[in-house]
Structure 1
Amino acid sequence: MTRAPSLLLLGLAAIALQGCIAKTALDIATAPIKVGSKAVDLATTSQSEADEKRGRELRKREEELGKLERRYRDQREDCEDGSRKACEKARETYEEIERLRPTIPYEPDD
């Protein structure tokens, strides 16, 4: 008689565990697909992420161009005041500006 409650409990446990076993089997079966899709997500860049990156790079180049233009203006003023060294630096800065300018798209004034 003491076996009956144990057998009943064992039967209930077996029924309850079937769902857990099925869930575990499903998780194991779908794991490679989940891992693969996660790897693809990490390896690819969305269009919006690519656009944001291009925008940041463009703004960085525009800021650099602005700094160079201000430096060039100051060097030209010093050159006009008679500083030969400022004239040389102004030429070098101008060359940097000319190398950077083609990497920035032209936007016409409205």
Structure 2
Amino acid sequence: MRFLPVLLLAPALSACAVASTAVDVVTLPVKVVSAGVDAVTTSQSEADEKRGRQIRKEEERLGRERRALDERCRKGRARPEDVCPPR
């Protein structure tokens, strides 16, 4: 008795719709797994971009420190650990 509505609607469905639905049902687990893998892994280009940002930040920090050291040496306020170039 439960299958009666399904049997009545079956001729209304085209073969393409049934095949499309079957393909969607079969490929759904693959899509879910691949989305999960993409979410937890990093591509090589993403890793390269991240490393490039780290290098730029480190270079900016070193530049700030170098300018501060030059300023202290120029004004005669060098710390004991500072190595100032000879004048």
| TM-score above 0.5, yes or no | yes
Provide structure 1 residue ranges, at least 5 long, that are not aligned to the other structure.
1-9, 80-85, 95-110
Of residues 33, 36, 39, the one that matches 1:39 is 36
SS in 1 for 2:58: helix
Matched, 1:74 2:65: no
- Aligned equivalent of 1:4: none
Provide structure 2 residue ranges, at least 5 long, that are not aligned to the other structure.
1-7, 83-87
- Whichever residue aligns with residue 71 of structure 2, its letter is D
Q: Distance in 2 between matches of 1:74 and 1:57?
A: 26
For normalisation by structure 1, the TM-score amounts to 0.56
Q: Which of 1 and 2 has higher RCO (CA within 8 Å, sep 6+)?
A: 1
Instruction: State the aligned residue count.
Output: 74
- Aligned equivalent of 2:11: 14
Q: CA deviation at 1:57?
A: 0.5
- Aligned equivalent of 2:53: 56
Q: CA deviation at 1:18?
A: 2.5
SS in 1 for 2:78: helix
| Larger Rg belongs to | 1
Structure 1 ranges of 4+ moved more than 3 A: none
Q: Give percent identity, aligned residues only.
A: 45
For normalisation by structure 2, the TM-score amounts to 0.68
